[in-house]
Structures are given as structure tokens and as C-alpha cells.
Structure 1
Amino acid sequence: MAPRGRPGLDDGAQIVSGQLGKTIQRLRKAYNLSLSELAEQSGVAKSIISQIERNETNPTLATIWRLSQALDVSIDRVLASGEDAPFFEKLSRADTPLIVSEDGKVRLAIIGWIKTVEWLQWYDVTAEPGGALESDAHQRGSIECLSVLSGEAEVEVAGHAERVRAGETLRYRCDSPHVVRAVGPEPLRATMVCIMKAAVMA
């Protein structure tokens, strides 16, 4: 049985389109995927994807379907998109994953892209005064960036603490256990970005 959403045309049918290669390349770059990564996710050979992007071959419908699945877009969009078509992906509040600290005072809304989670994580942080978020060590060389929008935070890493106030950004290594605390009388609101596998700092 064919997977849901698979086109009903002959899988061997070739697609001829002057914009197809540019569309595939634009979508791949929008997802920050290398040719090798797209090849791995789609099951289409890297050399074939490269030829498609350079408009050096007319791919079969089955090939375009596999690429569209890997790029998480409909095959209609791949075939119909013009070069300047915009990319939009909206996530509702209800669909945004939420992490709550053990003390229940800190909430992290995961607003980053799931496709980049292995190297880039992005959170919207809200915390009541006194709330603390304790985190285990991330991968060696990882860097966390905390930008405080309102309130005040204290970040503790390896026994050293630093305060961050509204309008300030603190960057710190997070490859050892670390704690972010909401200090002061006001609730904390911040954006936190974790860059995984960053270059190890001296």
C-alpha cells in the first residue's frame, strides 16, 4: 500500500520544469540542509539532488515525492512554487511545546525549529521571582545566550554567578551543570538560545 499522500501517477513519470531545481535548492537552504543531509533524509542520491538543482536532469515523480517528504512540504508546492515564493510556518500557542521546571516557577516555551534541535535550541523563558531552572551539561563546547527582556536573572555555572538585567545578554558555556534563577521582585521574561557543538573556547 502506498504511503498516505503519495501521488497516484506513474512513479516513473518524469517531471520537466525549469523552476524545479531552483525550488528544491531554495527549500533545502530554507531548512538549512546540506546536500548530504537531504540525501540521507530522502533516500535520493546526493549526486541526483545536485543534478536536479542544476536542472541537469528531469527527475521522476517518485523522486520528487521523496524529496518533498524530506522537506516537509506538499509535492504540489514543490512542483508549483515560483522562485520568489515565500516560506511560512506558523505554530499556534497550543502547539508550542512547554517545559516546566521542578519548582513549577519557570516555563520554557520551545520556539526553535525542531529540525535544528541538534545544533540550535531556542526558548521563550518566563519565571516567577525565586524560580530556578537547573540544567545538566550539554555537549562539550556548547554556548548558551540569555537575553533578558524584563526582570532580572542570575546564571550560575561551575560555581560562578553572573547577573543579567533587562536589555542585557549573557553568553556562557553550558557544557557543565548550570542554573538560571529569577532574582529580584519582578517576574523574569527572557529569550534563551543554546548553540550546540560550538567551537570550544580556550
Structure 2
Amino acid sequence: MALEPAPPLATIAAALRRERDRAGISLTELARRAGIAKSTLSQLESGVGNPSVETLWALGVALGVPFSRLVEPPPAAVRVIRAGEGPRVRSEHADFTATLLSAGSAHARRDVYVMELEPGAVRVAEPHTPRSIEHIVVAAGRMRVGPESDLVDLGPGDYATFPGDAPHRYEALAPGTFAVLVMEHP
């Protein structure tokens, strides 16, 4: 497997500082709320480190903002993301990569991701912002997804939706699983 490009560290650093300032909380308080070390947060705000999906989700939840707001670069008039490119973030617990394709605006609060999963460790996701809804369409492979109490198996072309504000998981059941995830935020 090829090495992944570095996450968009400058974008993440600027977004963390901007959102923490907007929330009016200190570095220490944000680290406490997110359950991460203050030194880790300080490094991320300085543009160094290698944040995992889990760390960025925890920071987004602690700040009350969607994950995409922390990794989305400033928009351009015309934007193209070629296959295999874009801001990719890997999980530290599973063979799971999410690529943000589009983040919602103030008028359309939704994010669009491409997910690549491989069988093995399961990607367990903590609850996202309250009233978040996830929509998934499988493009290739097979996956098991949803809240722990209501998991469903999906194949190519299958669609599922479920609350994103409860613990849930993504599990590849076949090699080369590829899906599109749309997250709605209230």
C-alpha cells in the first residue's frame, strides 16, 4: 500500500485556531473537552503532528463544528478533486481513509466524503454533532455500517441512512470497499 500524503496540516492548524477563537475557549479548555493532551493540541495549532480521524472528530465535537470545518481548505470558484487526491485522513484504529470532497455552507450544512475501507479492524465512530444524519452509498465492495444496535450490510449501489449523533461503525466486508458518505448537520 502506498504511503498516504500528509494531512492538510496548515488548513487544520488555521481552522483549529479560528474555531477555538470563535468559541472563546483556551487551548487548555479545548484539550480538556476533546480528551487530548494540551501539547498535542498546541502542536496541531502550530501545524505539526499527524492528527488521526479520531482526534479531529473529538476536536470538532468539542468545538461544536462539523469535522469538515477543520480539514476543508478555503473554497475556489471551480474546484476539482481527482481520484486519489484531496484532504485524506486515516484512522489510527482501522484500515479506513476518508477524503472530504465538499463541505456544506452556512445555507447547506452537509459534507461529502469518499471512504476507502479494507477488511480487518472496524472503524468505530464517536457521536458527531447533535442531530447529524449520515447517508452512505456503496460504490464497490461490501460493508457493515450503522449504530451498534442496528447494523446493516450493504453492497454496490446500496444506500443507508442513520443518526450520526450516536456511536456507530464502518466495517469493510470485502477488499477494495469504496463508498460515498454525505453528512447532514443541523
Q: TM-score, normalised by structure 1?
A: 0.48
Check if 1:130 corresponds to 2:125. no
The gaps in structure 2 that reach 5 residues or longer are: 1-73
1:194 aligns with 2:183: yes
Q: Percent identity?
A: 19
Question: RMSD between aligned alpha carbons?
Answer: 2.8
Q: Equivalents in 2 of 1:158, 1:104: separation in Å?
A: 17
Deviation at 1:92, TM superposition (A): 5.7
- Write the mapping of 1:17-32 to structure 2, written as runs, cut at 5 A: none
Paired residues for 1:1-202 under 5 Å: 88-91=78-81, 96-113=86-103, 115=105, 119-183=109-173, 185-197=174-186
Q: Which residue of 2 aligns with 1:53?
A: none
Larger radius of gyration: 1
Gaps of 5+ in 1: 1-70, 74-86, 198-202
Residues 110, 72 of structure 1: alpha-carbon distance in 2 compared, 3 angstrom cutoff: closer
Q: 1:95 to 1:131 in 2, by over 3 A?
A: same
2:165 counterpart SS class: coil
Structure 1 residue 186, shift from structure 2 partner: 2.7
Determine the structure 2 residue equivalent to 1:200: none
How big is the shift at 1:133?
2.0
Question: Is the Cα–Cα contact under 8 Å of residues 124 and 169 in structure 2 kept in the other structure?
Answer: yes
Q: Which residue identity lines up with residue 196 of structure 1 in the other structure?
A: H
Q: CA deviation at 1:120?
A: 1.1
Decide whether aligned partners of structure 1 residues 116 and 124 sit closer, same or farther in structure 2, where only a CA change above 3 A counts.
Answer: farther
Distance in 2 between the 1:120 and 1:156 partners?
A: 18
Cα distance, 1:158–1:93 mapped onto 2, change above 3 Å? closer
Alignment CA distance shift 1:125-1:94 (3 Å): closer
